[in-house]
Structure 1
């Protein structure tokens, strides 16, 4: 094979023989900020030229670059593969008694809670790679196999989420003799108030908890909030507590990007940026802090939409070799899959991750699915091109709009295409920074939420207002200062009041979308249009209560009397209005 115009710049850069050529052809690879260099690497040669042709001022730039690369062997992304570490049966001497490790395991666990078995075992060598640990949990005829993990200082843990009440028993298996064959019993009891279990897809396009309680995702984005230190993180939690948001997108790894250049408090692996990371040795303090914050969110009723990989990275976690990726995935699923409020997002902007191809994402999804018996919600998030959400493992569509202007207006189309819940996790952010994705108004953010809702989808929030401390909510958390959150709360209330607690699109007029249930309930949204009146044509003989809703002022005007058949409703002639028609029960009129 040879390099072509479709070859990613990162692939060329990785090739030592080609690196000097591509750095000379693209000097910014050497001088740009890390997040910009990462974006460059994600582009193919023709994409880079398309975005920078005016600056390059060379119509034959691609041809000249390929000519210089012509004699260099194409190595792709494979390179030299790291050999797999196979735990040895003689990790502990034969004289060590089986099942001799000290065990702590509680006698009770609530249904859908985190049940943890703690074992004190060996610590020589590298227990992260040299010790294999699992347990089988069983109740009646149900058997669940869970992976364990090493937590440092000779401590091993196995976490499990019992999904049924009653008596359970477990038995461990390990290549370490002291950890092998340990047995125990416990009882799973009634869940505590607020514990409704993990989320599931309901009725194709919506969600409900395991106990059947309806869930309306009202999300926000706070990518790097868990890397900011306790003071700011506690402030973020207090802000969330008073907000309408019940879902938060957040990264496992720290982020390096605009307005986010500080070092994290903890590193995910042993080592350093200067000397390199030991990907065979996760840092337990890093993951303990992460799970603490996930538990904090759980107590607030907030789902943690956990982003496993992202491209905005000066630490090279986005470019780990496949074997390191796989170890990390098995480790994090062992640690976190017992938490009921976890979602898996394979990546933020998967298509900017130059070192991963389609097969890598399918392998990553397979590892998550194999090691997560809870079967948490899982998806992959895009930048320039959508992932194939028809894949059977994808539970919902995690979407970033790819049209600069058309965002949630396409929700109907996406519902029909993928037949799965539509979550527009990035519709742009309310703020005032220089980037087009981060300077829409509160009015426009609210409009996009409403537009998506009446089309049967769910839109996500984010905030990027400039401040002297460069603490922007979308990345670091802190405080919300925008005008959309309280209006989003109002929309959440409207949705919860709808029949079944959800909105599904109805056939609509050409100029106004509508959601509801035919003949029973209609919610029309006029968006940025500003009519002075609207004529409605409904089936004769059905009476409706009519409400005029100002989605910005958060007011509901209930009109006197009832309406049927063809009728006209007067409107204030301003934007962001909605009209709700509710069928009247004539038995009680």
Structure 2
């Protein structure tokens, strides 16, 4: 039977439990919650309190304490609730076991109004509980709901509330580890995510868990920044001796805090559920233990609006699994995820063969001719967004780690621009945050090493806050520069984006002396031109000038890559 004790966790909500005609109102104290540290905050019910409300896109935990669980494994108990909104639309949300005889149903209301619900369970005392939650309008300017694919532009992302989402990702595989031993807060996580946020990044690519890297790392990494070989795993026991039959609930309670913090900062958690090259001891594929882990991730994290599912980093690269296995894992996601979050697989070998199974394409392209090959991928998948999740650039830091092929900060930035001007999204790597070395305070004045150039990406995000990426498309040039007639090339060199309505952006590499543009004549016969410095964010405007075919433009910053912006009326 249910104990006469219940909790509301993480976020404010109004919850009414109804059983045998008795109603208990559980109220959150908004002022109290606002002063508490991040974490699984639990508030005992008080029937004398009046109910309060939650808002759209905020996760709410309905937590039930049971006296005992009559099952061999508490993680395997069927439990969930069916929610019904004002329009009679229903949502079936699976619950999950949270340890200590607690079961949780985690809800994220997507609409305003009243949600009523009724639980179902394989345990009679958890079944048939009814209640309702009143939901107000979201007012947080950083939160826009889940990321989806734009219906009017299927190669672009958009938030649930209709705002464009220009995805600019930052790899932080070991983010789970930074504050796992700090029960009072997330100081290291907060500091690195502040650096991520203030420099324009709006997505973190992260592992649920990773253990160690397989490449040589500098041997002088300070202990406070070295997170390799954590003495825990996602299962009970250690990575060396795991108990696959039981999940490590405290680990996931901490991961809740991390995902929630990202959500509060308006940052997407691109969550890679498996990783094969980080020395994790995984259970056998398709086994009950494997299914239990995978399904638990989907049940526990689906209510966070900022989630993107990624089945596995470099899924097919290490001989661990095959395409049928990945297909079967995706079926698990589609069956369990009530919120229908986007799904991808960090492996183009998979994405190229099974594009209909996923919501966007992930590629990994390190080639010198990055732009041309990325544009080829964009054109090959006209109905899905594409992200080059690794372009081979891993910016150097004070402690050498995986170097890829490019480590210079300026070259790494230019490769991101090459991806974006080919119409796809990109991801940034710094060697001392992407893997088991995490310098959470890299931008602190106390550091004496050269700072990573996170700031370059703030300018990139600024550029596409001015010019809506969702309205821009690349153009593939002909094999030869045209004879100054027509406009199918748009320019003699550089990489163009256009909205086909008179706006043209060109990424012009630093080795260009100038570029010649070939665009339709504006009605006014005049062209307005400006330049954007990708390294400083500085802009330079030119006086309006007469249009003519093959018009020449030269960057004001000699020898530096820049963006040329043209418009005419």
Calculate the TM-score normalised by the size of structure 2: 0.78
SS of equivalent to 1:117: strand
In structure 2, distance between residues paired with 1:335 and 1:367: 14
CA contact (8 A) 1:427 1:448 kept: yes
In the alignment, which residue of structure 2 is the partner of 1:268?
A: 234
In the alignment, which residue of structure 1 is the partner of 2:203?
A: 247
In the alignment, which residue of structure 1 is the partner of 2:335?
A: 370
Q: Out of 117, 125, 137, which is 1:178 matched to?
A: 125
- Once the two structures are superposed, the pairs formed by residues 65-214 of structure 1 within 5 Å of their partners are 102-104=5-7, 106-107=13-14, 108-124=53-69, 126-139=72-85, 140-194=87-141, 195-202=143-150, 203-214=153-164
Cα distance change of structure 1 residues 285 and 502 upon mapping to structure 2, 3 Å threshold: farther
Cα distance change of structure 1 residues 262 and 525 upon mapping to structure 2, 3 Å threshold: closer
Instruction: Give 5+ residue unaligned stretches, structure 1.
Output: 1-95, 465-470, 585-589
Q: CA deviation at 1:484?
A: 4.0
User: Does 2:569 correspond to 1:569?
Assistant: no
CA contact (8 A) 1:424 1:460 kept: yes
User: Does 2:176 correspond to 1:226?
Assistant: yes
Alpha-carbon RMSD across the aligned residues, in angstroms, is 2.5
User: Does 2:461 correspond to 1:489?
Assistant: no
In the alignment, which residue of structure 1 is the partner of 2:243?
A: 278
In the alignment, which residue of structure 1 is the partner of 2:368?
A: 405
Q: CA deviation at 1:475?
A: 4.1
User: Does 2:242 correspond to 1:299?
Assistant: no
In structure 1, distance between residues paired with 2:135 and 2:118: 17
SS of equivalent to 2:144: coil
Cα distance change of structure 1 residues 296 and 502 upon mapping to structure 2, 3 Å threshold: farther
In structure 1, distance between residues paired with 2:502 and 2:377: 26
**Residues 138-191 of structure 1: per-residue CA shift (max 9 Å, x gap):** 123211111111111111101122222111111111121211111111212111
Q: CA deviation at 1:394?
A: 0.9
User: Does 2:234 correspond to 1:288?
Assistant: no
In structure 2, distance between residues paired with 1:136 and 1:101: 22
CA contact (8 A) 2:276 2:320 kept: no
User: Does 2:360 correspond to 1:396?
Assistant: yes
In the alignment, which residue of structure 1 is the partner of 2:380?
A: 417
User: Does 2:485 correspond to 1:531?
Assistant: no
Q: CA deviation at 1:434?
A: 7.0
User: Does 2:468 correspond to 1:504?
Assistant: no
In structure 2, distance between residues paired with 1:206 and 1:381: 18
**Residues 12-42 of structure 1: per-residue CA shift (max 9 Å, x gap):** xxxxxxxxxxxxxxxxxxxxxxxxxxxxxxx
In the alignment, which residue of structure 2 is the partner of 1:555?
A: 538
CA contact (8 A) 1:219 1:461 kept: yes
SS of equivalent to 2:404: helix
CA contact (8 A) 2:155 2:385 kept: yes
In structure 2, distance between residues paired with 1:331 and 1:535: 54
In the alignment, which residue of structure 1 is the partner of 2:314?
A: 349
Q: CA deviation at 1:439?
A: 4.1
In the alignment, which residue of structure 2 is the partner of 1:237?
A: 193
Which structure has the highest helix share of the two? Answer: 1
Count the aligned residue pairs. 478
In structure 2, distance between residues paired with 1:205 and 1:130: 39
SS of equivalent to 2:564: strand
- Of 365-374 and 507-516, more deviation after overlay is shown by 507-516
In structure 1, distance between residues paired with 2:188 and 2:567: 45
CA contact (8 A) 2:531 2:565 kept: yes
In structure 2, distance between residues paired with 1:103 and 1:434: 47
Cα distance change of structure 1 residues 149 and 523 upon mapping to structure 2, 3 Å threshold: same
In structure 2, distance between residues paired with 1:280 and 1:261: 26
Cα distance change of structure 1 residues 112 and 393 upon mapping to structure 2, 3 Å threshold: farther
In structure 2, distance between residues paired with 1:525 and 1:380: 29
Q: CA deviation at 1:311?
A: 1.1
**Residues 79-116 of structure 1: per-residue CA shift (max 9 Å, x gap):** xxxxxxxxxxxxxxxxx5xx676444641331222122
In the alignment, which residue of structure 2 is the partner of 1:580?
A: 565
In the alignment, which residue of structure 2 is the partner of 1:543?
A: 526
SS of equivalent to 2:228: coil
Cα distance change of structure 1 residues 435 and 132 upon mapping to structure 2, 3 Å threshold: closer
Instruction: Give 5+ residue unaligned stretches, structure 2.
Output: 15-52, 218-225, 444-449, 476-487
In the alignment, which residue of structure 2 is the partner of 1:54?
A: none
In the alignment, which residue of structure 1 is the partner of 2:26?
A: none
Q: CA deviation at 1:306?
A: 0.3
**Residues 530-577 of structure 1: per-residue CA shift (max 9 Å, x gap):** 214645554264422111333234322101233323333344542413
Q: CA deviation at 1:254?
A: 2.1
CA contact (8 A) 1:519 1:539 kept: no
CA contact (8 A) 1:123 1:153 kept: no
Q: CA deviation at 1:411?
A: 2.5
User: Does 2:428 correspond to 1:461?
Assistant: yes
CA contact (8 A) 2:396 2:403 kept: no
Q: Which has the larger radius of gyration?
A: 1
In structure 2, distance between residues paired with 1:362 and 1:390: 8
In structure 1, distance between residues paired with 2:140 and 2:433: 34
- Once the two structures are superposed, the pairs formed by residues 30-49 of structure 1 within 5 Å of their partners are none
Q: CA deviation at 1:319?
A: 5.0
In structure 1, distance between residues paired with 2:353 and 2:4: 45
SS of equivalent to 1:463: coil
